[in-house]
Amino acid sequence: MDNKGGFELAKAIMFQGTSSHVGKSILATALCRIFYQDGYRVAPFKAQNMTRNSYLTEEGLEMGKSQAIQARAAGLAPRVEMNPVLIKPVSNSSAQIIVNGRPMGDMSDRDYYEGKNLILFEEIKKALATLQRDFEVIVIEGAGSPAEINLKDRDLANMRTALLAEAPVLLVADIQRGGALASVVGTLELLEADERALVKGIVINRFCGKLSLLKPALDFLEQKTGKPVVGVIPLMEINLPEEDSLGSDDHKVIEALDWDKEFDQLAASCRRHLDMDKIYQLLG
């Protein structure tokens, strides 16, 4: 990607995590802003999102709030194609399924474990294809971990989407949790060979301290996995909400607040600590 001319189909890059809550949403928001600042038509995408709260578009359609925030970072109005499948838990054993912004009924946990959710992948394909035609770059966010063995054959949001989009994957680990290096190595070990090949880099998130003290661990990680560390992101003080902290009426807040300053500060910090040359190289 050596110019700002249009592509026939958008290039894509994806954040996946060693677990939930490692910072994928915030990093995807930052990358949306960076590409937007650099003059590209960029859109966020999350194939399947699970949350009790949702964002209402101008058309009254429901989608994940993280993708709505990421759209704002990219200078866009949120579109349901950015999150075509939304799962809203209604009990411990069932969830409401929302497809392209509209409720499609409930699915029990038994239905899910029998793989009935796989029919939703057709809608994911259509949504991604629409964004690929309309934009130059797609920043994709995974869900949870791609290496949950009991869920992998039904997982729509991680490696299935990466393979569909032909997206290089950056694997994110939260060093604040402890065991970050082991979680990276373990995640990669549990992936299939073709999935592991899609992982092109590692991002260590929420680091506090001197980078020089971490370097021996980073060198070991690169040698052990054969994957470069493309970023060590410091623990940042940001005022952007995590999706699960947003209430059911906060779509009004998303519209009302001027978050440009927050987006720009987030982007500036991540530019300093991500290897953007490497990321552009991955995009081709």
* Architecture (CATH level 2) of domain 11-44+121-283: 3-Layer(aba) Sandwich (3.40)
Q: What is the average pLDDT across 157-183?
A: 96
The tens digit of pLDDT for each residue in 187-196 reads 999 999 999 9
Q: Is the per-residue pLDDT at 175 higher than 60?
A: yes
Q: Give the separation between CA 240 and CA 242, rounded to whole angstroms.
A: 7
pLDDT given at position 82: 98
pLDDT given at position 116: 82
Query: In terms of pLDDT, which residue wins out, 2 or 77?
Result: 77
Q: What is the average pLDDT across 103-124?
A: 88
The tens digit of pLDDT for each residue in 78-88 reads 999 999 999 99
Collect all residues with Cβ–Cβ distance below 8 Å to 158 and sequence separation of at least 6: 16, 142, 143, 144, 145, 146
pLDDT given at position 92: 83
Calculate what percentage of the chain has a pLDDT beyond 70. 91
Q: Quick one: pLDDT band at residue 69, thresholds 50, 70, 90?
A: very high
Residues 67, 88, 164, 25: is their CA dihedral positive or negative?
A: positive
pLDDT given at position 55: 93
Domain boundaries, the chain: 11-44+121-283
pLDDT given at position 249: 47
Helix axis angle, 180-190 relative to 211-225, nearest 10°?
20
Q: Is the per-residue pLDDT at 4 higher than 70?
A: no
The tens digit of pLDDT for each residue in 24-66 reads 999 999 999 999 999 999 999 999 999 888 899 999 999 999 9
Contact 34, 164 (CB under 8 A): no
- Name the nearest CA neighbour of 159 among 14, 278, 9, 10: 14
The tens digit of pLDDT for each residue in 219-245 reads 999 999 999 999 999 999 877 765 544
Q: Quick one: pLDDT band at residue 246, thresholds 50, 70, 90?
A: very low
